[in-house]
Amino acid sequence: MIAYYEKVRKSLEPDEDAVFCILLELGPAHDRRILEALNQKEQKTRKPKRQKRKWEINQVTARRNGLLGKGVIEDLGAHNGRWHDKAKTYHLWRVRVDKRQPIGWGKVEKSAIGGPRKTPQELRRQRDQRTERAEQPVLRSLRVSEAGRVLREHRRVKGRKQTVKTGQGLLFNFT
């Protein structure tokens, strides 16, 4: 394991190396635990407060993805467990040569995990279809006239309506 550690460390960027060292130290962990450990480690340094780095989750996940792409770490899959007294499901990560198993986390069955998320365009299309299906019976029952149909189509137009000048004179003269 030490030889693997030395070999891998030479090819890593400093931030990737920090995430790699935390995973070696902790064993299998999820992104939030890695973030917490990196921030705790940074707080223990003897640097002045203004020079201490505050890690963010997007920094951790990007470095973890870099390590995953290089084949240094592996995904153990989704696991159920408790994180800050709340039931959570997270993906756990570990260094490839580390054979420790996660403690307090149970593997989630693939059938329990939902399918891939839908794109925003797909969700919008489905919402529009539901709206249209709900509107059709109401419109049929009301037997909306052609004018009503045009008004319904144009009610979603954004912007302010402009006043049309009619050219009519004033009815009242206040002098």
Q: Which residue has the higher pLDDT, 168 or 31?
A: 31
Residue 56, both tokens: 């963010």
Res 170 pLDDT > 80: no
Q: What average pLDDT score do residues 7-21 get?
A: 88
As a whole number of angstroms, the distance between CA 33 and CA 84 comes to 10
- Please tell me the least confidently modeled range out of 22-26, 105-109, 143-147: 143-147
Please determine, for residue 79, whether its predicted confidence score (pLDDT) is greater than 80. yes
pLDDT reading at 56 higher than 60? yes
* Residues whose CB is less than 8 angstroms from the CB of residue 8 and which lie 6 or more positions away in sequence, other chains included: 20, 70, 72
Q: What is the DSSP string of 140-153?
A: HHHT--HHHHHHHH
Beta-carbon contacts of 62 under 8 Å, excluding residues fewer than 6 positions away, are: none
The pLDDT of residue 17:
92
Is the pLDDT at 62 greater than 60, yes or no? yes
Whether pLDDT at 162 is above 70: no
Cα 68 to Cα 12, 27, 50, 60, 62: the distances in Å are 12, 15, 32, 12, 10
According to the model, what pLDDT value does residue 111 have?
64
Rounded Cα–Cα distance for residues 74 and 64 (Å): 10
Arithmetic mean of pLDDT over the chain: 83
pLDDT above 70 for 173: no
pLDDT, one tens digit per residue, over 93-126 is: 999 888 899 988 999 887 666 667 788 899 999 9
Among 157, 162, 20, which Cα is nearest to 97's? 20
Q: Identify which of 67, 57, 58 has the alpha carbon closest to the alpha carbon of residue 16.
A: 67
Contact 90, 31 (CB under 8 A): yes
pLDDT for 51 beyond 60: yes
Query: Is residue 48 scored above 80 in pLDDT?
Result: yes
CA-derived radius of gyration, the chain: 30
pTM equals: 0.61
Query: Which CATH number applies to 2-112: 3.40.190.10, 3.40.109.10, 1.10.10.10, 3.30.70.1140?
Result: 1.10.10.10
